[in-house]
Amino acid sequence: MFAFGGVGGDANMFRVGYAYEQVAKVRESLHMYLVPETEIGDAVG
C-alpha cells in the first residue's frame, strides 16, 4: 500500500506505518523472503 501526506507531514506517515507494522505482524508473514533483521536503525541512531 502507499501513503501520501502533506508537505512537512512526514511524522504522520511514520505514525501510521509504525502502528500498522506493530499490529499486522507483516514481517513475520514475509520473514522467509527477508534476511534476518539487523537493527540497522539502532546502529545508525
Partner 1 sequence: VGFKPSRGLSPCEGLIFTSGKLDTVGLLTRTVTDASKILQEIIHQSIDGSHYKRYSLRQALSISCSSPYLGGLRIGIPSSLADLENVHPAKTSAFRNVLYLLEAVGADIVLAVDVSGAEEFDNLPLAFRNILLDTDMKMAINKYLSKLRTNPQNINTLQDLIAFTKVHPKEGYPGRNVAVLERALSTDPSDEVYKTMLAKEAWFAGEGGIEGTLRRHKLSILLIPALSPTLNCFAAKAGSPCMSLPMGKYPAGTDVQIDPRSGLVEVAPGIP
Task: Please state the closest distance from residue 25 (CB atom) to partner 1, in A.
Answer: 9
Nearest-angstrom CA–CA distance, 43 and 21: 20
Q: Are the CB atoms for 13 and 5 separated by under 8 Å?
A: yes
Torsion sign, CA atoms 42, 19, 1, 35: positive
Task: Please state the closest distance from residue 36 (CB atom) to partner 1, in A.
Answer: 10
Q: Give contact residues for partner 1 (rule: CB under 8 A).
A: 1-24, 26-27, 29-30, 33-34, 37-42, 44-45
Task: Please state the closest distance from residue 17 (CB atom) to partner 1, in A.
Answer: 4
